[in-house]
Structure 1
Amino acid sequence: MVFGLFLTYYQIPMKIYLLTFFLFCSIIGVNAQIDSENRSIAIPAENVDDPLEDDEIIIQPVKKNDEKTEKEDDVKETLSKEEQMSIAKRKEFSMVHDDKLRNPAELFGKQLKNALQLREDEYREEGRKVNQFFGKYLTKSKYQDVSLRDFGAEDGDLVRIWVNGTVVNSRVALANANKKFTLTLEPGENVVEFEALNQGTSGPNTAAFAVFEKTTGNMLLNSKWNLLTGVRGTFTVVLLPQDLPEEGDKE
């Protein structure tokens, strides 16, 4: 009614009135539709059983050994043969096999073992009836380590050791194990002699020996003898002055 009086007062035509009324109703209808679409939809909740209420739950332990075995098998299958060989070689590495890293005593023992190895035919040699000369050697080392052993049967061979005509050991019983002693050299020539005192039970008097410079570990000589009783094996070592070159040279 108020709206009709407003139109009459301002002399607004009926067409405009109807158009305005229609637009007003349309706007109200659209807003009502939007509000109805924005309404939330209720979603019914599902009934889920509480796992804590289940008395029959069983927890099985993890089998670590089986998993480890499967992993190791997978790794082995993925490695090529060359890679596996390379890994094996690295595992076999050992510093003990490197001669450069060994101490002098170990090197001395290795050299001595190689020096005293003899061929099988050397066991069958007959005893020498004359003195045997093993050579002449030059050195700057005043002290020489001598090692000797019976390379044949351990049958009671005995020797006497001479240096420059003087007995330094009157009786040495040879055994299969090495026996060692140290020589002290004089300036110039030093004549060393091994005299066979007997031939043991299987004869002749047999021995293998080696001579090393004590200060450096260098080997001057290694040899062996097969001597009849009373025969000597001899070698000469020349002690050089320190200002002369080359140790261990053989003339």
Structure 2
Amino acid sequence: MRLYFSFFVSLLFSLSAYAQIDTKTKSIAIPAVKSKKDSLDTNLLLPSKSTNSNTNINSVNTPRVSTNLNMPKKEFSMFPSEEFGNPGELYVDRINKSLDHLKLSEEELEMKNGSSTDQYFGDFKSKAKFVNVVYRDHGYVDGDVIQVLVNDDVIHARVFLTSGFKGFKLDLQKGFNKIDFLALNQGESGPNTAEFRVVDDLGNLVSANRWNLAKGVKATIIIVKE
């Protein structure tokens, strides 16, 4: 009998404890009352639009950058007629050529540009009645033209120099016979270049030489007949 009574008391105690726990976990939902206008204005959360075109950051006006800038299509140059891949290479070739002149000796400059002063190849004595005067372009045949004078008289007004010798027969007068070769141009590749020979009536070589002349400069030789 006491055993049943104890079981019954324990059962009542368990049911009471479960009822208390279940009561705590359950809640009563209270419906929210919707007001006509929400007390919190959502517009306050949005950044205000600036009326100025510039952005103000810490009282410093930042200019507005335009995305529609018209960029120049071609770089400005003080030399519009020439184009260079690198602006630092303006007229490099011309400067280098000018510097090359500083590295050359006077003789090398004369060979490159031609003598700017008249050349005298000396005077030679001869007992011959006449001499043959011949000349040719000793360099690249590039259109060199000369004028030939004897005692300041024009013998040949224009002679086109070729790779082969050509010339004239000169009857020697008693005393001085001055022969001038005047460079009328410098051809296409530098100075007026030529080789000349003077041979007497017996086939003996009286004189031979070469010249490198600038335009307007002359080379002179004198044959003295004894």
TM value normalised by structure 1:
0.45
Q: Distance in 2 between matches of 1:167 and 1:176?
A: 23
Tell me the CA shift for residue 124 of structure 1: 4.8
User: Tell me, what secondary structure is at the counterpart of 2:113?
Assistant: coil
* CA distance in structure 1 between the partners assigned to 2:182 and 2:142 by the alignment: 17
**1:231 equivalent in structure 2:** 217
> Aligned letter for 2:221?
F
Structure 1's consecutive aligned runs of 4 or more residues displaced over 2 angstroms after TM superposition are 123-126
Aligned-residue offset at 1:198:
0.3
Code of the aligned partner of 1:162: L
- Asked if 1:161 corresponds to 2:145, the answer is no
How far apart, in 2, do the equivalents of 1:169 and 1:142 lie? 21
- Residues 133 and 124 of structure 1: is their aligned pair in 2 closer, same or farther, counting only changes over 3 Å? closer
Q: CA deviation at 1:184?
A: 1.5
| Cα pair distance change 1:124/1:166, threshold 3 Å | closer
What is the 5 A alignment of 1:182-197? Answer: 182-197=169-184
**Alpha-carbon offset, residue 177 of structure 1:** 1.2
The two structures have a TM-score, normalised by structure 2, of 0.50
Percent of residue pairs identical: 41
8 A contact 2:111–2:212 mirrored in 1? no
* AA of the residue aligned to 2:214: L
Output the CA distance in 2 between the equivalents of 1:179 and 1:193: 16
Residue in 1 that maps onto 2:129: 142
Q: 1:136-189 CA distances to partner (integer Å, 9 max, x unpaired)? A: 011111211112110111111000001011001111100011113111221111
Candidates 208, 211, 221, aligned match of 2:207: 221
Return the structure number with greater helix share: 1
Matches within 5 A, 1:56-135: 124-135=111-122
Indicate which of 179, 198, 202 corresponds to 2:189.
Answer: 202
Gaps of 5+ in 1: 1-120, 241-251
Alignment of structure 1 residues 36-55 onto 2, 5 Å? none
**Match of residue 159, structure 2, among 172, 185, 190:** 172
Counterpart residue number, 1:19: none
RMSD over equivalenced CA pairs, Å: 1.8
Q: CA deviation at 1:125?
A: 4.4
SS at structure 2 position matched to 1:133: strand
Whole-Å separation in 1 of the counterparts to 2:111 and 2:122: 23
- 2: CA distance, partners of 1:211 / 1:197: 21
Deviations 1:77-124 (A, max 9, x none): xxxxxxxxxxxxxxxxxxxxxxxxxxxxxxxxxxxxxxxxxxxx9x95
